[in-house]
Amino acid sequence: MRLITLRTQALEVIQRWKKQYPNPDRERAEVQKKLEALDLTTALPKDIENIIGNNSWCCKIECDECNEYFDNVLQINEKSEYHTRYICLQCIKKALELFETEKEKCHYL
Ligand SMILES: [Zn+2]
């Protein structure tokens, strides 16, 4: 599992772009060059959106439990492209409460 934030998305955008477009056409190569010229340690999501042309590369992520969108989520099972899940902090807190309030169910007879 790992934490995904707007900053981690920004820092990894070039790596993800290269993975998505391993043989870029001229336009995508140009986008990559512009991304590489950006200081991703300080870039805002809007800066990345302006270069790529959409906001899907650095954006709030939907929690798979409550379906709300968050800047920061925990990614679970990240090695699986199709079975990865995103969980927000409030749902993780609810999960911890469940373990606590229903702990008697955790012990077998
Ligand atoms: Zn949630």
Domain count along the chain: 1
Average pLDDT, the chain: 95
SS3 category, 35: helix
For 41-109, strand residue ranges (E) read: 61-62, 69-70, 73-76, 85-87
Averaged pLDDT, 58-73 = 98
For residues 16-26, give the mean pLDDT.
96
CA 75–ligand 1 middle distance (angstroms): 12
**Residue 5 near residue 72 (C-beta atoms within 8 A):** yes
Based on its alpha-carbon atoms, the radius of gyration of the chain, rounded to whole angstroms, reads 18
Residue 63 CA, ligand 1 centroid: distance in Å: 5
User: What Cα–Cα distance (Å) separates residue 93 from each residue in 12, 52, 53?
Assistant: 27, 35, 36
CA of 87 to the centre of ligand 1 (A): 5
Quick one: average pLDDT of 31-48? 97
Confidence of residue 109 (pLDDT cuts 50, 70, 90): low
User: What are the start-end ranges of the H helices in 38-88?
Assistant: 45-52
| pTM, full prediction | 0.87
Q: What confidence score (pLDDT) does residue 26 get?
A: 97
CA of 94 relative to ligand 1 center, distance in Å: 9
The domain of 92 spans 2-106
Ligand 1 midpoint to CA 40 (Å): 27
What spacing in Å lies between the alpha carbon of 97 and ligand 1's midpoint? 14
Render pLDDT for 3-15 as a digit per residue (tens, 0 to 9).
999 999 999 999 9
Q: Tell me the CA distances in angstroms from 41 to 3, 32, 76, one per residue in order.
A: 16, 16, 24
The alpha carbon of 66 and the centre of ligand 1 are apart by a number of angstroms equal to 4
CB 8 within 8 A of CB 61: no
pLDDT in tens, 72-102: 999 999 888 789 999 999 999 999 999 999 8
